[in-house]
Homo-oligomer: A and B are copies of this chain.
């Protein structure tokens, strides 16, 4: 395999930047809500509306999400690089990442939605697929809301990398 080409082509895939929020208080989870920045995400069904998101197998998020069985997805607006940066950090080194970031609970899941998001999806986990060092979580969109106008923050705009 041409490793350099592999990296370069995988990095040419276009991504937005989103925040996946999970409500605290699930079985075995802390009482506090949790959030993390994600980019490996796509819609995967029209009917029912579903999205798929790939999460690191060893992430803090995955067990919390499994315990809650639901999450909220906030779409970050262009310009929200600092929020993406903060929420993109590892929870191991930056616990309580949501501290100081305005948020409110999604109506169905109670998972945190960022006040700054252009819009949000309230999602219920339907299935998982193990994929190498990640797990693809397939979830149904059960409620949605728009909050403000704006373009979606792209991974390219942030200058961050999460591919290759």
Task: List, in ascending order, chain B residues with CB within 8 A of A50's CB.
Answer: 131-132, 134
Q: Which 9 A-B pairs have the closest CB atoms?
A: A45-B132, A14-B16, A9-B119, A6-B144, A44-B54, A5-B144, A129-B129, A44-B131, A40-B42
Copies of this chain held together in the complex: 2
Task: List, in ascending order, chain B residues with CB within 8 A of A41's CB.
Answer: 13, 42
The answer to whether B16 and A42 have CB atoms under 8 Å apart is no
The answer to whether B46 and A52 have CB atoms under 8 Å apart is no
* Residue-wise interface mask of A (37-75) relative to B, using a CB-CB cutoff of 8 A (1 in contact, 0 not): 001111111111111101000000000000000000001
Given contacts A42-B42, A44-B40, A54-B42, contact A12 B132 (CB under 8 A): no
The answer to whether B54 and A14 have CB atoms under 8 Å apart is no
Q: CA A132 – CA B52 in complex, angstroms? A: 12
Q: CA A164 – CA B164 in complex, angstroms? A: 28
